[in-house]
Amino acid sequence: MRTAMENFGFFLSRAFASTKPRRRTWPYVPGSYFVSDPDAPVAVTTLGSVALAEAVSRNPPSGLCIVGKVETENIGIEKIVKNVLSNPAIRYLVCAGNEPPRHLTGATLLALFANGIDERKRIPGSPGMRPVLPNTSAAEVQAFREQVQPVDMIGCTDVSAIHARVAELTRSAAPATGPRFDRGREAGGETEVERVVAVGVDPRRIKLDEAGYFVIHVEGDALLVEHYDYREKLLRVIEGRDARSIYLTAVRNGWVSRLDHAAYFGKELARAEWCMKQGLPFVQDGA
């Protein structure tokens, strides 16, 4: 059974993480990638070895299409599936680098190739914490498994060895077949997720939080937050060493009652913490 925080994290991944195409050029789904040759047949994921991705991308061998990390066994893998499906040139996916603890994305990718997904969109046989692909259809997974072959180099962080494997695979790669997917389309023809253009709000039209407002201060190596009501009465002072402790305390005690106020409060606390750590003055922005 998942903990409360794991449930909350899973909710956030469902609500806010995007695996839908947004870019006009491939790779369509945004992420931390290094593209060498979009028409090449080999993609490489360095799993939890973040710096390794950039190292592999330098002086790439012929045949390297794209390289990037993947640290989560759900949204991260969904991005791989969708970007691979939108490029029929890719025939191999090399899984190299070290596994991210608990997420085990390499083992989860291999389980996906072996077992697909079940009716709950879980990946059978995965040892990861939450191996679920909520934004990916069974048709997409099947197309992904048919298009590319996995290459297990999990644990390898030797750039020259990875380059050599890419070159070897390139020599044996079958020609690409089929057209590249249209931007914004998925295998299986699922309905597009709504895309909304963000628009600011005139500050004069912002509704006040009935629970009061906060004034944030940096004092030495501490954050001090004064909580006032709208009669300017000081209700309490919250002290903490980091933004997370303070906003969780405020939320847990019901001292924030509006989502827009919570977003603003979290943003300003993060700015204040950064200024504190950098030794810079902090001036709170207006809502």
Say if residue 216's pLDDT is above 50.
yes
Q: Does an H or E element contain 97, and which?
A: strand 92-97
Q: Which CATH architecture has domain 33-172?
A: 3-Layer(aba) Sandwich (3.40)
Model confidence pTM above 0.85: no
The pLDDT of 24-43, averaged and rounded, is: 88
Kindly list the distances between the CA atom of residue 259 and the CA atoms of 42, 238, 253, in Å, as whole numbers in the listed order. Answer: 44, 20, 15
Question: Number of helices and strands (H, E) in the chain?
Answer: 8, 8
**Per-residue model confidence (pLDDT) at position 206:** 66
pLDDT digits (tens, 9 = 90+) for 66-115: 999 999 999 899 999 999 999 999 999 999 999 999 999 999 999 999 99
pLDDT digits (tens, 9 = 90+) for 229-262: 888 888 999 999 999 999 999 999 999 999 989 9
Give yes or no for a contact between 85 and 143, defined as CB atoms under 8 angstroms apart.
yes
Distance, in Å, from the CA atom of 6 to the CA atom of 24, rounded to the nearest integer, reads: 34
Say if residue 189's pLDDT is above 90.
no
**Per-residue model confidence (pLDDT) at position 32:** 82
The pLDDT of 178-192, averaged and rounded, is: 47
The pLDDT of 32-55, averaged and rounded, is: 95
Give yes or no for a contact between 94 and 109, defined as CB atoms under 8 angstroms apart.
no
- Give the lowest-confidence range in 157-161, 200-204, 231-235: 200-204
Q: Does an H or E element contain 65, and which?
A: strand 64-68
The pLDDT of 13-39, averaged and rounded, is: 71
Say if residue 131's pLDDT is above 50.
yes
**Per-residue model confidence (pLDDT) at position 30:** 77
**Per-residue model confidence (pLDDT) at position 15:** 41
Average pLDDT of every residue of the chain = 86
**Per-residue model confidence (pLDDT) at position 58:** 96
Say if residue 182's pLDDT is above 70.
no
Say if residue 3's pLDDT is above 80.
no
Residue written as token pair 């298009």: 147
The residue among 5, 262, 271, 287 whose CA lies nearest residue 253 is: 262
Distance, in Å, from the CA atom of 159 to the CA atom of 44, rounded to the nearest integer, reads: 11
β-sheet bridge partners, residue 149: 92
The pLDDT of 57-73, averaged and rounded, is: 95
The residue among 113, 11, 106, 88 whose CA lies nearest residue 49 is: 106
The residue among 125, 116, 118, 109 whose CA lies nearest residue 73 is: 109
Q: Where are the domains of the chain?
A: 33-172, 213-278
Largest distance between two CA atoms of the chain: 75
Q: What percent of the chain has pLDDT over 90?
A: 69
Say if residue 13's pLDDT is above 90.
no
Query: 160: which 2 tokens?
Result: 């020259």
β-sheet bridge partners, residue 67: 34, 44
Distance, in Å, from the CA atom of 203 to the CA atom of 190, rounded to the nearest integer, reads: 39
Say if residue 268's pLDDT is above 90.
yes
The residue among 92, 85, 91, 93 whose CA lies nearest residue 180 is: 85
Q: Determine the distance from the C-alpha atom of residue 101 to the mean position of all C-alpha atoms in its chain, rounded to a whole number.
A: 16
Higher pLDDT, 173 or 122: 122
